[in-house]
Structure 1
Amino acid sequence: MALWVLFHLLLFLVLKPTDANLEGDALFALRREVHDPNNILQSWDPTLVDPCTWFHVTCDSQNRVTRLDLGNAKLSGKLVPDLGKLERLEYLELYMNNLVGPIPAELGNLKSLVSLDLYHNNLTGSIPPSLSNLSNLRFLRLNRNRLTGRIPRELTKLGNLKILCVQQ
């Protein structure tokens, strides 16, 4: 019995992602999902605990990711729900790429987000109502995508929102 408990404890420790690398894992999930013809993401090494050394990633003094700048990077592929794990992210700049598929509802977990720029892609589906959780959001640019449906009424709760662009 003791050997069984020890085995499962060791298995848990080996398989559990460390908090230090949780953000790196989230960013690398995006790296795996997108096609990067210009090797913009070549510095994104999943073996490094600290993604703050990666190009196009900015971090705060506690080495937490605060900004992701991949606008006009010629990326194609899908956004990943894992981006919702970047708890201190303030700026998500993925405009003017060829991203497809839905906007993950998990982006509504990014409580520190000030700017969400996904404009000029090929995103489809509806705007997730979960974006109404982003109380610090000032800029929401989703224009020039192929989004459908109504603008969620919940977005009216965003009292700090200064710019909302959703036109086709």
Structure 2
Amino acid sequence: MASRFLGFFLFVFAVAISPVTCTIEADALSALKKALVDPNGILESWDERFTDPCTWFHVVCSRDNKVIKLDLGDYGLGGSLVPELGLLGDLESLEMFQNNITGPIPIELGNLSKLISLELYENKLNGTIPDSFGKLKALRFMRLNNNQLTGKVPESVKALEKGNLMILDVTNNPLSD
């Protein structure tokens, strides 16, 4: 009897927790969708009524239904990035290269502790490279080249090259030394 109760408890607990994670991730991605201009309709499957973003195109999830990759490179997207992206705690790869994304890079992306690849090159991003990126210890690839980023590359970001970071490309930005 105790094992049945424990099994039932674990099932109820898993069901209760799973929608919360999906809702947080779905809300974050819905905020991104609202901030983007999507002339080709590639985000049409991102329907807020379906709170499991693992069913949405261009979203890759782990076996336990956590968003681990956004594959939005070279789709002609405009608009801006949103701070809510920093809520995707299991994100390993953010690919939004070769679009027309403008505005600053949200400092909240520095919360993505599992991020391995950050591909934001060939957009129209401006402002500075967030110092919070220095917290991205798992990062191996950071390509921010061909944007309109200004200021200096933060020392905390340069220090990542002594760890896992293999590629840091910030070329073709009006950065200062």
Q: TM-score, normalization: structure 1? A: 0.88
How far residue 18 of structure 1 moved from its aligned partner, in angstroms, is 3.3
For the pair 1:121 / 2:123, whether they are aligned, the reply is yes
Separation (CA, whole Å) in 1 of partners of 2:126 and 2:52: 32
Separation (CA, whole Å) in 2 of partners of 1:20 and 1:139: 27
Separation (CA, whole Å) in 2 of partners of 1:148 and 1:19: 35
For the pair 1:160 / 2:146, whether they are aligned, the reply is no
Give the total of aligned pairs: 152
Paired AA for residue 67 in structure 1: K
Partner of 2:141: 139
Partner of 2:60: 58
> 3-state DSSP class of the match of 2:63?
coil
Residues 103, 126 of structure 2: 8 Å contact kept: yes
Paired AA for residue 35 in structure 1: V
Partner of 1:7: none
Q: TM-score, normalization: structure 2? A: 0.84
How far residue 19 of structure 1 moved from its aligned partner, in angstroms, is 3.3
Give unmatched runs, 5+ long, in structure 2: 1-18, 173-177
Any idea what the Cα deviations from partners look like across 1:92-132, whole Å, max 9, x if unmatched?
00000000000000000000000000000000000000001
Coordinate RMSD, CA, aligned: 1.0
Runs of 4+ in 1 over 6 A off after TM superposition: none
> 3-state DSSP class of the match of 1:18?
helix
Separation (CA, whole Å) in 2 of partners of 1:65 and 1:167: 29
Which of 70, 73, 76 aligns to 1:71? It is 73
